[in-house]
A and B are shown apart, each in its own frame.
Chain A
Amino acid sequence: MYQILLTRTYLLSKIMPLLAAISLSLCTGLVLVVWSVMGGFLTTLLDTGRTFAGDVTITWPSGIPHYQRLLEIVRKDPKVHAATPVIETFALMRLPDDRVEGVQVRGIDGPSYAATVGYDKALWWRALDAPIKTDENGLDPRLSGEKDWKQIYDDGMSLTRSAGRNGPRIPAAVVGIDASGFNKLQDEGYYVALGLVRPTSDGRTQSLPRYLFENSVTLNLIPLDSQGRLQTLVSKTLPVANEFRTGVSEMDRRTVFVQFEELQRLMKMDAVPKVVPKSGGAFNPYEGIEKTGDTKLPEIQTGELAPARASTVLVKAKQGVSADELRAAMTAAYAQFAREFRDVPSEERLTGANLIRTWAQANATLVNQVKRETALVLFLFWFITLVCSVLILAIFWAMISEKTKDIGVLRSVGATRSGIAGLWIGYGLILGVVGSLAGLALGYFVVTNINAIHEALGRYFGLYIWEPRVYLFSGIPDKVNPWHALIVTSAGIGFAVVGAIVPALRAALMQPVRALRFE
């Protein structure tokens, strides 16, 4: 058919439409990059949240008493894959080189925490069978035999270390890999220990053991009782068992894991003798202040034990169960738990304060912000792609003016109006396919290499756009969603065809005689 012949001929001989195809490819590639990065950011945010914060959390600020019974009830639920108790608090962490950092401390039970969230995968120092993909030269220290990486990994899982050679196991800390400044991330994606020094009192420096897990950290904790009242400050030096990396910048810089029982003891959240403020008569917070200046209320030992507490119970859903479905199930589970004990907050109090929630709900402001930004940016870039449609319209309009006589010739040999229109719409379709596929390839290349490109921009031009502290993650999302790719490619083709329609109609409706006489 003459449409195929002429389309192929015009495609190979006309420059302007190819330029339109190039602009279409740039636009579709740009939309794909933006959608992949922004959409990938949102997906990574939600996935990482679910991976490292569980599908659902049940939280009470001063701790949930009788949490073991709650765990029993939760673990029996058919929608639950695993559940684990966590204690969360804040501390000032003193590092081996005497720097002090504010951190979030989490008391965890290693094995059940690993079953619920990706703790085991996050432990960094471990034996590797093969180098990671980007480490082409195999320089990752974990490939070497310089340390007993398996033991160090096991220490991280148990959150313990040996006290001296063959000594007893003692509680230890697992620190975020970017928290201490001991490590530097290489371009190839692995960390190397820098080997820091510590200033001494005589003005000199003392070299520290190279790896953080060869050192200790001191945690200065602020325990609260079950009523939320301040207790005595606690300072505890713990050896470091291992370090972890989640890819979430805030977690990797500001989180320390400690053995659950150890933190529970330090925070006085274990079963302790129950005390209550002196009762009877009106409450006078200034009682005793004249003599001692101390506003602490006199306490009475009841002879009972206050039940052990956990700040949070993290729950992971079984495959195929959504976070929202699990939340509904956990609300029911907690209601059952609350009916069994008088001294636990009621289900209404927890749900009223939104303390049985999915990760997305807990971070709704951030998630909605990201969704809105993604939608806005996408709208803007789709609008830019629409400009391509107008560009194709303009170019085709000019081409049809140039080809007016040819259109008259085709009509004179019997070409139909629909055939003429089909020629130009088909040409637009081919340009759309060529441009959109090129854009897809370009977008795919940029997205999958975006971190390397960003690194190169920074190194050669000083242009660092992705800031982990702002965007939460160390790396820019670099995965292309196949559905997004399909939508972007189809839309690019659609825009090209739309741009060709009006010129095609113009060509089809031309009077043959006027076309033949056109100068």
Chain B
Amino acid sequence: MKLLEATNLHKTYYLGKTKVPVLRGVSLDVHQGEFVAILGASGSGKSTLLHLLGGLDEPDSTAGGGVNFRGLTLSTFSQSALDQYRAQSVGFVFQFYHLLPELNVLQNVCIAAMARWTFGYFSRKAAIETRARELLTEFGLGTRLKHKPVELSGGERQRVAIARALINDPQILLADEPTGNLDRKTGETILDLLIKSRRGGRSLVMVTHDAEVAKRADRVVKIVDGVINKA
């Protein structure tokens, strides 16, 4: 089943008066349970594509393209609907982890659930924290729940970020260079975790510049200068 469908995506950034076209007509489908790697050099537009797929940004409206999730066009979503899309259907994993430094490991994972449930979090708190502990234990962090991000290694932080991305049981994981800041061995561990997280039919779209990492995907999409170059 087609979960995500991106059609003719254009995205231009403006640096003062200078127009910087980052995506120039990108189209991409992601099916349920599929692992798609988007391979490209730095500045090729791969992170921008990921952001558009995740509803973090909007494509240029003048180009007529868009992103569909289960047949629904994201550009027709209200702001509230987009927030819910990110909270319930999508999980982001970033290259630099982006953990909140004042919160401990458990809190960093649960915060995604807090953002989803708002007032309903209180009635679900016990179940959510149990789920967070299970994820963290599965990722080898069961004894580090009270630790702050500054007390963790890079690999450990990325595992926390993955747990955060999974806490709301999203249908799609969007990972932006998840191993880019890690050594090879740690990166392999993280990649294994991400691939393992697909159980239950979860799709994984991963952006990377590392061809070796991309090899482990079901499908690799090359992006060069804002355009898909099918490999």
Contact = CB atoms under 8 A, between A and B. Distances in A.
A1 B84 contact: no
Contact of A411 (B56, B101, B102): B56
Contact of B79 (A9, A13, A413, A416): A416
A479 interface: no
Contacts of A406: 100-101
B57 A512 contact: yes
Interface string B148-172: 0000000000000000100010000
Contacts of A414: 83-88, 112, 115-116, 168
Q: Which of B79, B99, B102, B107 has the most CB of A within 10 A?
A: B102
Given A414-B86, A414-B88, A414-B112, A419 B118 contact: yes
Q: Which of A405, A410, A414 has the most CB of B within 10 A?
A: A414
Given A6-B102, A405-B98, A417-B79, A511 B88 contact: no
B115 A415 contact: yes
Contacts of B66: none
Contact of B56 (A10, A13, A416, A512): A512
A511 B100 CA distance: 18
B interface, over-half SS:
helix
Interface in B53-112: 54, 56-57, 79-80, 83-88, 92, 94, 98-103, 107, 111-112
A509 to B, nearest CB: 11
Contacts of A516: 56, 94, 98
B216 to A, nearest CB: 25
A470 interface: no
A184 B104 CA distance: 66
B21 to A, nearest CB: 16
Contact of A413 (B80, B119, B122, B164): B164
B51 interface: yes
Contact of A412 (B54, B101, B122, B168): B54
A313 to B, nearest CB: 69
Nearest to B98: A409
B83 A9 contact: no
Given A1-B118, A2-B114, A5-B107, A412 B102 contact: no
Interface string A499-519: 000000000000111001000
B35 to A, nearest CB: 21
A516 B51 CA distance: 11
A408 interface: yes
A416 B80 contact: yes
Contacts of A405: 98
A interface, over-half SS:
helix
B160 to A, nearest CB: 12
B121 interface: yes
Contacts of B84: 414
Given A408-B98, A414-B87, A513-B57, A1 B103 contact: no
A516 B100 CA distance: 12
A5 B103 contact: yes
Contacts of B119: 1
Q: Which of A10, A417, A516 has the most CB of B within 10 A?
A: A516
A415 B94 contact: no
Contacts of B83: 411, 414-417
Interface in A321-370: none
Contact of A409 (B51, B100, B122): B100
A6 B111 CA distance: 10
B177 to A, nearest CB: 13
B92 A9 contact: no
Nearest to B103: A9
B57 A411 contact: no
Nearest to B83: A416
A445 B118 CA distance: 41
B164 to A, nearest CB: 7
Given A5-B111, A10-B102, A412 B80 contact: no
Contacts of B100: 6, 406, 409
Given A2-B111, A419-B115, A511 B57 contact: yes
A410 B87 CA distance: 10
A413 B111 CA distance: 8
Q: Which of B83, B102, B115 has the most CB of A within 10 A?
A: B115
Contacts of A419: 115, 118
A411 B101 CA distance: 16
Q: Which of B57, B86, B114 has the most CB of A within 10 A?
A: B114
B102 A413 contact: no
Interface in A469-519: 511-513, 516
Contacts of B115: 2, 410, 413-415, 419
29 contacts: A2-B114, A6-B100, A9-B102, A9-B103, A10-B102, A13-B102, A405-B98, A406-B100, A406-B101, A408-B98, A409-B99, A411-B83, A411-B86, A412-B54, A412-B56, A412-B86, A413-B86, A413-B87, A413-B92, A414-B83, A414-B84, A414-B88, A414-B112, A415-B83, A416-B79, A416-B80, A417-B83, A419-B118, A516-B98
Given A405-B98, A411-B83, A411-B86, 4 more contacts: A1-B114, A5-B114, A414-B84, A419-B118
- Top 3 nearest A-B pairs (CB, nearest first) are A414-B87, A2-B114, A413-B112
Interface of B: 51, 54, 56-57, 79-80, 83-88, 92, 94, 98-103, 107, 111-112, 114-116, 118-119, 121-122, 164, 168
